[in-house]
C-alpha cells in the first residue's frame, strides 16, 4: 500500500494521470496521507477540504489533489527580472539651470507627482481612475483663480512652468515624497509658492516642512480656499490644520473638467462615504493624528455627480462603501434607474445581508474590491481587522458571483503567522474560488502607524528609504522567512496568477461571461509591454471603452432578468425552481 501511494504521489507531481489509477477502487485513506504531505501541515486548507470528503466524487478528489500547489514551488526557480520601460521607472528631468518666466498671479497648478511602477503588477491600475484629492481642491478654488491639473504618471513630460504659477499644490504620499520635494524645490527657486497636502504630510510634517511654503494638515477641501486667500494678501502661514468632522454633504463635487478624459478608464471616481469601521494596525487610516469619522453624502448628490460626468462606468473610491448597510441600500435604490455600472471597495461582511447583494447587483454593481488581507484568522486578529472567519470566505465569494458581481481580492503577505507556504496556499485558494482579479501587497509598516511602532520597537525595520515603502519591497524582517524570500514569493504569486493557465482556471462558470472576462484579463494583466504606449498617446479610454460598454449592456440585461425573477417569486401561487 505504501509503495502504491508513493507511485501515485510521483505521478501527481508530474501532473500525469497514473496508468494504474482506478476511480472505482480508490483508497481514500492513502490519499489522506498524500494530501497531508502536499499541504505541508497547512491547517487552513486541510480543515476546509477534509469535511467535504463525504460529498466528493472520486474523480473530483483526484482533481483537487492535482490542483494543489506544492508549498516549495515559488522557490524552485530564480526570480525572473521583469521588463520595465524607462518612462515607468524614471521621472522627467528637472533642469536646474533652466530659467523661468514671470509668475502669473492667480494661477494655481495642482500636481500629482511621478512614482516608479511595480513590474510585477499591472501598469493599467495606475490609470483606472484619477485621485479625487486634487479635483476636490480645484472645486473650492476661488473664481478669480485659474487652476490646472497635471499628473506626471500620464507620461506627458515634466509639469508646465511657462508661465510660472503663483501657487503649486502638490499631493505628497510616502513612496513619492522625494519626487514631491524635488518639484517643490524647483518651483520655489523660481518664485512659486509650494503647498503640500496628503497623508505623508500628516505623518511626517517636520520632514516635509523644509520643502514647502505651507503644509495643509487634514481636510484640504476646507483649507485650500483659506490658503489661496492668504497668498493674495501676503500672509501665508506655515501650517494649516482642519479636521474631518464637518458635514460631508457641504463639500462641492470634484471639478472633473480639469481632467484629461482620454487618459483614464473613467474619470468618474466617486466617493459617497469617508472613513472605515476597521482600524487595522497596518492601514494608513491608523496613522497617528488621523481621525476620520464615518461620514456619508446624500445619495442624490452621488447620483447627480455620476450623471453629470456622462460616463457609463464609475469607481467608488470609498474605503468601505458597505460599512453602513442601511445607507448602501438607499444608495443602491438611487443608482438603479441610471442603468450604469460601477464597482466599489467593501468588506466581505457585506454578504451578511443577501438582500443587499441583490440590491447592489440591481443597481449596477459589477465588481467589488475586497481586502481579505490574509487566509489566517490569527493574522487578522493580530491586525485588529473585524471580519468573518476565513473558512467562510469561499461561501461568501460564491454569493457575490451568483449575483454577477466579480471579485478583486486584496492580500497582504508577510504577517507574523505567514510561513513560506503562504504564497502557494493563497494562489491555490484564489484559483479554487475563481477570483477574477487579485492584488497583492508585501506588509509595509507606514510611518506613524501601530505596525511601524511595533516593528521599530522590535528592531525589525531594515531602513527608512520611503521610496521602497511601496508594498512591493520587504522593508522589515519577517518572522518565518527572509526579506529576500518574501520578495521572491510576492513576485511568484503575481507571475502565477497573471499566467495563461491561471487566467483560464478562474474563468466565470457562465460561459457567456467568459469572452469579456478574457478580454479584460488580458488587457489588464498581460499587456504591460503596451500600457506605457496607451498612456502616453491618450488611448487608455478609447481602448477600454468598448469593453466597458459591452459589460454594461450585458449587465443591464442580467438586471432585467433578476428583476423579473423577483416578480415571479413575489407573485402568489407561483412556483419557481432554483435555476430560474
**pLDDT value at position 255?**
93
Tell me which of 94-103, 373-382, 493-502 is least confident.
94-103
Instruction: Kindly report, residue by residue over 191-211, the tens digit of the pLDDT.
Output: 999 999 988 998 889 999 999
What cell was used for 450? 501601530
The answer to the question of residue 375 being in a domain is: yes
The answer to the question of residue 361 being in a domain is: yes
Q: Examine the domain organization and report whether 264 and 405 are in the same domain.
A: yes
Confirm whether pTM is higher than 0.85.
no
Q: Examine the domain organization and report whether 530 and 495 are in the same domain.
A: yes
Q: Examine the domain organization and report whether 201 and 349 are in the same domain.
A: no
Q: Examine the domain organization and report whether 354 and 481 are in the same domain.
A: yes
Name the residue with higher pLDDT: 510 or 55: 510
- Residues of the domain holding 38: 2-68
Q: Examine the domain organization and report whether 28 and 139 are in the same domain.
A: no
Q: What is the mean pLDDT of residues 393-421?
A: 95
Cα R_g (the chain), whole angstroms? 26
* 3 state SS for 256-308: HHHCCHHHCCCCCEECCEECCCCCCCCCHHHCCCCCCCCEECCHHHHHHHHHH
The answer to the question of residue 418 being in a domain is: yes
Name the residue with higher pLDDT: 293 or 58: 293
Query: Domain with 547 in it: what CATH number?
Result: 3.80.30.20
Q: How far apart are the first and last CA of the chain?
A: 48
The answer to the question of residue 53 being in a domain is: yes
Instruction: Kindly report, residue by residue over 303-353, the tens digit of the pLDDT.
Output: 999 999 999 999 999 989 998 999 999 999 999 999 999 999 999 999 999
Final residue in a domain of this structure, among 23, 38, 68:
68
User: Considering the chain, what is the average pLDDT of its residues?
Assistant: 84
Q: Which of 61, 55, 12 is nearest to 32 (CA)?
A: 61
The answer to the question of residue 569 being in a domain is: no
The answer to whether residue 189 scores a pLDDT higher than 60 is yes
Per cent of the chain over pLDDT 70 is 82
Q: Taking a C-beta distance cutoff of 8 angstroms, is the pair 186, 94 a contact?
A: yes
Name the residue with higher pLDDT: 147 or 79: 147
The answer to the question of residue 238 being in a domain is: yes
Q: Examine the domain organization and report whether 399 and 524 are in the same domain.
A: yes
Query: Domain with 108 in it: what CATH number?
Result: 3.40.50.2300
Instruction: Kindly report, residue by residue over 104-158, the tens digit of the pLDDT.
Output: 999 999 999 999 999 888 888 889 999 888 999 999 999 999 999 999 999 999 9
The answer to the question of residue 114 being in a domain is: yes
Q: Examine the domain organization and report whether 391 and 531 are in the same domain.
A: yes
Q: Examine the domain organization and report whether 217 and 268 are in the same domain.
A: no
Contacts of 93 (CB under 8 A, 6+ apart): 158
Q: Taking a C-beta distance cutoff of 8 angstroms, is the pair 134, 149 a contact?
A: yes
Final residue in a domain of this structure, among 68, 98, 120:
68
Q: Examine the domain organization and report whether 319 and 442 are in the same domain.
A: yes
Q: How many separate domains does the chain show?
A: 3
**Which phi and psi angles does 252 have, rounded to 5°?**
-70, 160
Q: Taking a C-beta distance cutoff of 8 angstroms, is the pair 444, 282 a contact?
A: yes
The answer to whether residue 500 scores a pLDDT higher than 50 is yes
Count of other CB atoms within 10 angstroms of residue 375:
22
**pLDDT value at position 292?**
64
The answer to the question of residue 218 being in a domain is: yes
Q: Examine the domain organization and report whether 325 and 439 are in the same domain.
A: yes
Is the CA virtual torsion 467, 472, 474, 476 positive or negative? positive
SS3 111: strand
Q: Examine the domain organization and report whether 223 and 271 are in the same domain.
A: no
Q: Examine the domain organization and report whether 278 and 234 are in the same domain.
A: no
Amino acid at each position: 500500500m505504501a509503495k502504491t501511494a508513493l507511485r501515485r504521489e510521483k505521478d501527481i507531481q508530474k501532473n500525469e494521470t497514473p496508468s494504474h489509477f482506478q476511480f472505482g477502487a480508490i483508497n481514500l485513506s492513502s490519499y489522506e496521507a498524500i494530501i497531508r504531505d502536499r499541504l505541508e501541515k497547512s491547517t487552513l486548507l486541510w480543515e476546509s477540504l477534509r469535511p467535504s470528503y463525504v460529498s466528493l466524487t472520486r474523480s473530483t478528489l483526484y482533481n483537487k489533489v492535482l490542483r494543489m500547489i506544492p508549498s516549495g514551488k515559488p522557490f524552485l526557480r530564480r526570480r525572473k527580472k521583469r521588463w520595465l520601460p524607462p518612462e515607468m521607472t524614471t521621472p522627467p528631468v528637472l533642469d536646474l539651470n533652466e530659467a523661468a518666466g514671470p509668475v502669473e498671479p492667480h494661477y494655481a497648478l495642482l500636481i500629482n507627482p511621478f512614482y516608479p511602477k511595480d513590474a510585477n503588477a499591472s501598469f493599467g491600475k495606475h490609470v483606472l481612475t484619477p485621485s479625487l484629492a486634487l479635483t476636490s481642491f480645484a472645486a473650492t478654488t476661488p473664481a478669480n483663480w485659474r487652476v490646472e491639473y497635471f499628473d506626471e504618471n500620464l507620461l506627458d513630460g515634466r509639469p508646465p512652468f511657462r508661465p510660472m504659477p503663483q501657487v503649486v499644490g502638490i499631493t505628497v504620499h510616502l513612496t513619492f515624497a522625494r519626487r514631491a520635494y524635488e518639484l517643490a524645490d524647483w518651483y520655489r527657486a523660481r518664485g512659486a509658492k509650494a503647498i503640500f497636502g496628503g497623508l505623508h504630510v500628516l505623518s511626517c510634517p517636520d520632514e516635509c516642512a523644509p520643502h514647502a511654503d505651507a503644509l495643509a494638515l487634514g481636510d484640504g477641501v476646507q483649507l485650500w480656499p483659506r490658503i489661496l486667500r492668504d497668498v493674495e494678501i501676503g500672509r501665508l502661514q506655515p501650517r494649516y490644520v482642519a479636521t474631518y468632522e464637518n458635514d460631508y454633504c457641504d463639500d462641492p463635487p470634484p471639478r472633473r473638467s480639469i481632467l484629461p478624459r482620454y487618459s483614464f478608464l473613467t474619470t468618474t471616481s466617486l466617493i459617497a462615504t469617508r472613513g472605515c469601521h476597521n482600524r487595522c494596525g497596518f492601514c494608513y487610516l491608523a496613522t497617528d493624528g488621523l481621525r476620520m469619522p464615518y461620514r456619508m453624502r446624500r445619495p442624490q448628490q452621488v447620483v447627480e455627480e455620476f450623471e453629470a460626468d456622462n460616463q457609463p462606468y464609475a469607481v467608488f473610491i470609498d474605503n468601505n462603501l458597505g460599512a453602513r448597510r442601511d445607507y448602501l441600500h438607499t444608495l443602491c435604490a438611487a443608482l438603479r434607474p441610471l442603468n450604469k455600472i460601477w464597482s466599489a471597495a467593501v468588506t466581505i461582511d457585506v454578504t451578511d445581508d443577501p438582500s443587499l447583494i441583490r440590491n447592489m447587483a440591481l443597481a449596477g454593481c459589477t465588481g467589488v474590491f475586497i481586502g481579505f488581507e490574509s487566509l489566517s484568522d490569527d493574522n487578522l486578529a493580530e491586525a485588529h481587522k473585524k471580519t468573518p472567519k476565513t473558512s467562510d470566505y469561499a461561501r461568501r465569494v460564491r454569493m457575490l458571483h451568483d449575483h454577477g458581481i466579480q471579485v478583486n481580492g486584496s492580500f497582504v503577505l508577510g504577517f507574523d503567522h505567514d510561513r513560506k507556504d503562504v504564497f502557494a496556499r493563497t494562489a491555490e485558494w484564489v484559483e479554487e474560488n475563481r477570483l477574477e482579479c487579485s492584488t497583492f501587497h508585501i506588509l509595509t509598516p507606514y510611518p506613524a502607524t501601530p505596525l511601524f511602532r511595533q516593528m521599530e520597537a522590535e528592531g525589525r525595520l531594515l531602513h527608512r528609504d520611503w521610496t521602497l515603502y511601496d508594498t512591493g519591497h520587504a522593508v522589515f524582517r519577517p518572522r518565518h522567512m527572509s526579506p529576500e524570500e518574501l520578495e521572491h514569493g510576492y513576485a511568484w504569486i503575481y507571475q502565477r496568477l497573471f499566467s495563461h493557465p491561471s487566467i483560464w482556471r478562474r474563468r466565470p462558470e457562465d460561459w457567456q461571461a467568459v469572452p469579456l472576462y478574457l478580454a479584460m484579463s488580458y488587457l489588464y494583466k498581460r499587456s504591460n509591454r503596451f500600457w506605457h504606449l496607451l498612456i502616453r498617446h491618450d488611448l487608455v479610454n478609447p481602448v477600454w471603452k468598448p469593453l466597458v460598454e459591452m459589460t454594461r449592456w450585458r449587465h443591464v440585461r442580467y438586471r432585467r432578468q433578476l428583476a423579473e425573477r423577483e416578480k415571479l417569486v413575489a407573485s402568489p401561487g407561483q412556483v419557481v425552481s432554483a435555476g430560474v
